[in-house]
Amino acid sequence: MANTWTRRLLKVLDLFSGIGGFSLGLERTGGFETAAFCEIEKYPQEVLAKNFPGVPIYDDIKKLTAKRLVSDGIKDDG
């Protein structure tokens, strides 16, 4: 009997991201995918953009809301 399970990756919203080491480690386990970062410092933002192309980077945790994430296509999969 064939296994019909499909593995879903857990999505990570990486806050206070730095250069993304936490997300990198999680992704290397094979069970996680980074949905977005939030990092205020410019240099770490440049590193994140290079190492995680296409992943949104928000710059101010005080302005980041669930409504904004949903409007940008990042949603709670419940």
Residue 16 has pLDDT above 70, yes or no: yes
Q: Smallest Cα–Cα separation from 12: which of 74, 59, 60, 58?
A: 74
Say if pTM beats, i.e. exceeds, 0.75.
Answer: yes
Q: Where are the domains of the chain?
A: 10-67
In 10 A of CB 47, how many CB atoms? Answer: 15
- Taking residues 15-32, what's their average pLDDT? 96
pLDDT tens sequence across 41-74: 999 999 999 999 999 999 999 999 999 999 888 8
The CATH number of domain 10-67, selected from 3.40.50.300, 3.40.50.720, 3.30.70.260, 2.40.128.20: 3.40.50.720
